[in-house]
């Protein structure tokens, strides 16, 4: 047995910012060394950020990742950190990417992990199980690895695995047991999802049992376009005991002393589904420093707090990683824009948030008051810009009625926000919730205008819950509740015609959200929804709305594809991407 001090660096890389990500590794490795760690592990694709999507097709990007890995190994040694083995995720390749049927079997881009030691790369591992569902498209981008890599660190055999490897039984963890390892390190780019917490811990426990070894799970944090990585790094013993767990949504290092068996002097060969490649770093561990521990099991957030923090971090990182200085949004006095403004102020501070009230002749007095009240509570930059003169100019020159007039008002507001964005450099925030997006209860190029929507995936009923939770949280902290009670309690209205209410056009949001959860998230058909107890007439009406709305979300007009790479269907690039062919 040996006592190995393990450091898990739960950090926040940025897609494409290879130099910045490498600098993060150097900074946190120095901290790990200062804490007396024997081994430090960074997340999946740490050097490139994750997910890189179609960037893998660019040879210059792959070359930059590989070169940065070698330079990082050398840089760590220059920093005097060459003795501390570092596990880091990066993009590797041993063949061309597959863009047509004629790929080279078994070769191509690799989702890889390396062990850096003594100024060099001493071991590499290629991810074996590639996820290709939900937000993942890794069969498209990567070729799976066939060998498990085992590195001896201070006499302890450590197996390297990456993310999806832990989600499937009978893969690298089973081979790790055959290889008799003392520790399996699993590096992750695992996005936040409602209630995912409840899934991860039992999963790590199952895999620890399968490997018969301690499992260290390290995940990144941070926002990357639509994804939010929540960290939740943890260490679980072979018997399932949760030894340490990091807080979510926070850049931190989890450090824990592990009592793990040392490897045999002459390990037996393994016959299994994968080959085993062994590498050697050291046979003895340096003596333990009594200081430097930062472990323990952190208590979980409540459900509402967890979601709120995901939304705040997602917005914060979208703004910061894309280099925006400030945001602007329309403040209607309603609940959606109130919640988005509050998320923005929590993420960026009130000095970087501008709220614009854009009343029309149909805007109620209380709407304007509620918007002003919210702005005052939060101290954000508040402006009033009536839209009547612009709306009237259109009405005087075009013959419009009904829905065309309703949409016109929303579009004049959209233009106004975009004009402020162009003039003053703000990012426009969109404020439509998931329920209204689903049923198309919004105006294309109107209230759907904007570069980022913090509540795009938040159903209306959850918007209300989050607002109440945030106000209660303020009271718990002895602060003024940021959201006016009236914005939470009044019946929702688009205020595009006299006396209009959402309930004129839509089922009650409780009913609507339950049907949408079944239809959108659960892929239930009409009969399945009715069997689940929903009113058939309401189901039919809702499904019709959703089916009609589907195409409205695709605001970037499709067009016939004639080339190898049309913009649209077959070009999938991260929006947040700091990779530049030239640094100039």
Give the relative orientation of helices 365-378 and 335-348 as an angle to the nearest 10 degrees: 10
Q: Catalytic annotation on 127?
A: yes
Stretch that binds a second copy, among 26-34, 210-218, 473-481, 543-551 (CB under 8 A): 543-551
The answer to whether 511 touches 532, Cβ cutoff 8 Å, is: no
Q: Does 251 interact with a second copy (rule: CB under 8 A)?
A: no
In terms of Cα–Cα distance, which of 88, 116, 128 is closest to 8?
88
**In this complex, which beta carbon is closest to a second copy, that of residue 193 or of residue 251?**
193
**In this complex, which beta carbon is closest to a second copy, that of residue 1 or of residue 393?**
393
Interacting residues with a second copy between 85 and 124 (CB under 8 A): 98-103
**Which residue among 53, 78, 127, 210 is the active-site one?**
127
Q: Does 3 interact with a second copy (rule: CB under 8 A)?
A: no
Contacts of 300 (CB under 8 A, 6+ apart): 197, 248, 306
Interacting residues with a second copy between 310 and 369 (CB under 8 A): 310-311, 313-315, 318, 322
Q: Is 483 a known ligand-binding residue? A: no
Q: Does 584 interact with a second copy (rule: CB under 8 A)?
A: yes
**Total site size for a second copy, rule CB under 8 A:** 125
**In this complex, which beta carbon is closest to a second copy, that of residue 60 or of residue 325?**
60
Shortest distance, position 82 Cβ to a second copy, whole Å = 31
**In this complex, which beta carbon is closest to a second copy, that of residue 66 or of residue 434?**
434
Q: Which helix (H) or strand (E) holds 243?
A: strand 242-245
Stretch that binds a second copy, among 18-26, 330-338, 415-423, 485-493 (CB under 8 A): 415-423
Select the residue interacting with a second copy from 227, 331, 467, 515 (CB under 8 A): 227
Select the residue interacting with a second copy from 13, 144, 212, 223 (CB under 8 A): 223
Stretch that binds a second copy, among 22-30, 75-83, 136-144, 250-258 (CB under 8 A): 136-144
Select the residue interacting with a second copy from 126, 142, 192, 441 (CB under 8 A): 192
Q: Does 396 interact with a second copy (rule: CB under 8 A)?
A: yes
Q: Does 453 interact with a second copy (rule: CB under 8 A)?
A: yes
Contacts of 257 (CB under 8 A, 6+ apart): 3, 4, 5, 6, 288, 293, 295
Cα maximum dimension of the chain? 89
Based on its alpha-carbon atoms, the radius of gyration of the chain, rounded to whole angstroms, reads 26
Burial pattern 313-347, b for ≥16 Cβ within 10 A else e, equals bbbbbbbbbbebebbbbbbbbbbbbbbbbbbbbbb
In degrees and rounded to multiples of 5, residue 237 shows phi and psi of -75, 165
Q: Does 567 interact with a second copy (rule: CB under 8 A)?
A: yes
Q: Does 235 interact with a second copy (rule: CB under 8 A)?
A: no
Q: Does 374 interact with a second copy (rule: CB under 8 A)?
A: no
**In this complex, which beta carbon is closest to a second copy, that of residue 389 or of residue 533?**
389
Q: Is 436 a known ligand-binding residue? A: yes
Q: Catalytic annotation on 59?
A: no
With 0-12 / 13-18 / 19 or more C-beta atoms within 10 angstroms meaning exposed / middle / buried, residue 425 is exposed
Q: Is 465 a known ligand-binding residue? A: no
Give the relative orientation of helices 59-78 and 18-34 as an angle to the nearest 10 degrees: 30
**Which residue among 53, 138, 163, 320 is the active-site one?**
163
Tell me the sheet residues that pair with 5.
257
DSSP string, 310-339: HHHHHHHHHHHHTT---EEEE--SSHHHHH
Site map 272..311 versus a second copy, x via CB under 8 A:
-----------------------------------x--xx
**In this complex, which beta carbon is closest to a second copy, that of residue 173 or of residue 192?**
192
Select the residue interacting with a second copy from 23, 59, 202, 241 (CB under 8 A): 59
How many Å apart are CA 103 and CA 157, to the nearest integer? Answer: 35
Site map 454..493 versus a second copy, x via CB under 8 A:
xxxxx-----------------------------------
With 0-12 / 13-18 / 19 or more C-beta atoms within 10 angstroms meaning exposed / middle / buried, residue 197 is middle
How many Å apart are CA 220 and CA 251, to the nearest integer? Answer: 8
SS3 578: coil
How many Å apart are CA 221 and CA 224, to the nearest integer? Answer: 10
Site map 503..542 versus a second copy, x via CB under 8 A:
-----------------xx-xxxxxx-----------x--
Shortest distance, position 189 Cβ to a second copy, whole Å = 14
Stretch that binds a second copy, among 177-185, 325-333, 363-371, 448-456 (CB under 8 A): 448-456
Q: Does 187 interact with a second copy (rule: CB under 8 A)?
A: no
Q: Does 193 interact with a second copy (rule: CB under 8 A)?
A: yes
CA atoms within 13 Å, Cβ hemisphere of 73: 21
Q: C-alpha distances in angstroms, 116 versus 11, 85, 196, 258, 484?
A: 18, 6, 32, 21, 54
Contacts of 420 (CB under 8 A, 6+ apart): 328, 354, 356, 426, 428
How many Å apart are CA 30 and CA 32, to the nearest integer? Answer: 5
Select the residue interacting with a second copy from 390, 439, 515, 545 (CB under 8 A): 390
Total residues belonging to the chain: 584
Select the residue interacting with a second copy from 109, 191, 333, 484 (CB under 8 A): 191
* Binding site members for L-glutamine: 133, 190, 196
Catalytic residue numbers?
A: 44, 127, 163
* Binding site members: 133, 190, 196, 330-337, 407, 431, 436, 552
């Amino acid at each position: 047995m040996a006592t190995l001090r393990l450091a898990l660096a739960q950090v926040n890389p940025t897609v494409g910012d290879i130099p910045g990500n490498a600098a993060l590794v150097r900074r946190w490795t120095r901290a790990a060394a200062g804490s007396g760690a024997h081994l430090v592990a960074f997340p999946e694709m740490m050097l490139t950020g994750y997910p890189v999507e179609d960037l893998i097709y660019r040879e210059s990007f792959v070359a930059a990742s590989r070169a940065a890995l070698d330079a990082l190994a050398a840089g760590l040694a220059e920093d005097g950190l060459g003795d501390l083995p570092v596990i880091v995720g990066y993009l590797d390749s041993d063949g061309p990417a597959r863009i047509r049927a004629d790929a080279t079997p078994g070769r191509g881009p690799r989702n890889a992990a390396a062990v850096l030691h003594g100024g060099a790369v001493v071991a590499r591992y290629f991810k074996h199980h590639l996820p290709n569902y939900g937000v993942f498209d890794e069969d498209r981008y990567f070729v799976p690895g066939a060998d498990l890599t085992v590195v001896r660190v201070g006499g302890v055999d450590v197996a390297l695995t990456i993310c999806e490897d832990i989600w499937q039984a009978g893969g690298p963890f089973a081979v790790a047991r055959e290889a008799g390892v003392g520790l399996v390190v699993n590096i992750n780019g695992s996005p936040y999802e409602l209630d995912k917490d409840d899934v991860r811990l039992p999963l790590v426990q199952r895999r620890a049992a399968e490997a018969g070894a301690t499992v260290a799970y390290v995940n990144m944090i941070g926002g990357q376009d639509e994804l939010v990585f929540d960290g939740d790094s943890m260490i679980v013993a072979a018997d399932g005991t949760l030894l340490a767990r990091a807080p979510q949504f926070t850049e931190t290092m989890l450090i824990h002393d592990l009592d793990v068996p040392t490897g045999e002097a002459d390990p037996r060969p393994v016959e299994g589904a994968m080959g085993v490649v062994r590498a050697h770093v050291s046979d003895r561990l340096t003596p333990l420093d009594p200081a430097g521990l930062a472990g323990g099991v952190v208590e979980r957030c409540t459900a509402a707090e967890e979601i709120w923090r995901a939304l705040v971090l997602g917005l914060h990182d979208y703004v910061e990683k894309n280099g925006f200085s400030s945001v602007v949004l329309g403040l209607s006095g309603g609940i959606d824009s109130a919640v988005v403004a509050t998320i923005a102020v929590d993420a960026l501070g009130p000095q970087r948030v501008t709220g614009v009230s854009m009343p029309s002749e149909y805007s109620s007095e209380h709407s304007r008051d509620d918007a002003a009240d919210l702005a005052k509570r939060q101290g954000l930059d508040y402006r009033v810009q009536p839209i009547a003169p612009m709306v009237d100019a259109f009405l005087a020159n075009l013959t419009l009625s009904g829905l065309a007039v309703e949409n016109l008002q929303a579009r004049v507001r959209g233009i106004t926000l975009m004009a402020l964005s162009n003039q003053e450099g703000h990012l426009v925030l969109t404020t439509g919730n998931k329920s209204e997006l689903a049923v198309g209860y919004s105006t294309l190029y109107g209230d759907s205008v904007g570069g980022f929507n913090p509540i795009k995936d938040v159903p209306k009923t959850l918007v209300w819950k989050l607002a109440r939770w945030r106000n209660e949280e303020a009271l718990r902290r002895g602060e003024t509740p940021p959201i006016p009670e009236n914005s939470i309690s009044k019946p929702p209205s688009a205020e595009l015609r006299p006396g209009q209410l959402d309930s004129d056009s839509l089922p009650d949001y409780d009913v609507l959200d339950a049907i949408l959860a079944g239809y959108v998230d659960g892929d239930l058909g009409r009969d399945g929804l009715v069997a689940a107890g929903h009113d058939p007439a309401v189901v039919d009406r809702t499904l019709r709305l959703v089916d009609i709305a589907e195409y409205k979300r695709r605001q970037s007009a499709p067009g016939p594809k004639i080339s190898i790479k049309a913009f649209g269907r077959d070009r999938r690039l991260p929006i947040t991407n700091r990779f530049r062919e030239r640094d100039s």
